[in-house]
Amino acid sequence: MSWTDGHLTRVDLSPTSDPVERDERAPAWLTDELAAYFADGGHRPRVPVCLKGTPFQHRAWDLLMTIPAGRTVTYGTLAVELGSSARAVGAACRANPCPLVIPCHRVVGARGLGGFAGDRGGRLLGIKRWLLRHEGVALT
């Protein structure tokens, strides 16, 4: 995780990180919210974020924030709302620097899970499955 001036700037889901583990350097406002989410999949982490991205990415990320825990929305549905394409929505999700807080894991393909953070079948897609199950989404 990275933060600056009281704002979360990045959540790293790389193979060497553990999003559940508390970082002793991290401020309590951040670790408390993430711990609350991992204790209860229905909890919406409420932390201030400072995100760098294009205007379209910001519009997409704002829309992602409206998807409630336990629900999924397709890339295509979001594309219609944004006046864009499903691929553009996928690219915005892939560029999301704060997964978990900006819930791109709730976006799925029309015929399946889709990807997660650019991963279509590896460790990160496993994290997406876990997050959705944690929030009560029944996966087939």
Check residue 53 and give its pLDDT: 95
Catalytic residues: 104
Query: Which is more confident, 116 or 16?
Result: 116
95: in domain: yes
The β-bridge partners of 73 are: 107
* Residues 32 and 63 placed together within one structural domain of the fold: no
Is the separation of the CB atoms in 43 and 109 below 8 Å?
no
Sign of CA dihedral 133, 12, 74, 58: positive
139: in domain: no
Whether residue 96 has pLDDT greater than 90: yes
51-60, 102-111, 118-127: least confidently modelled range: 118-127
CA-CA distance, 3 to 36, in Å (whole number)? 18
46: in domain: no
pTM of full prediction above 0.75: yes
Residues constituting the chain: 140
Check residue 24 and give its pLDDT: 61
* Residues 97 and 70 placed together within one structural domain of the fold: yes
Check residue 15 and give its pLDDT: 47
Domain interval for residue 89: 55-134
Whether residue 58 has pLDDT greater than 60: yes
* Residues 24 and 75 placed together within one structural domain of the fold: no
User: CATH number of the domain that 124 lies in?
Assistant: 1.10.10.10
pLDDT tens-digit readout, 80-93? 999 999 999 999 99
Sign of CA dihedral 133, 126, 56, 10: positive
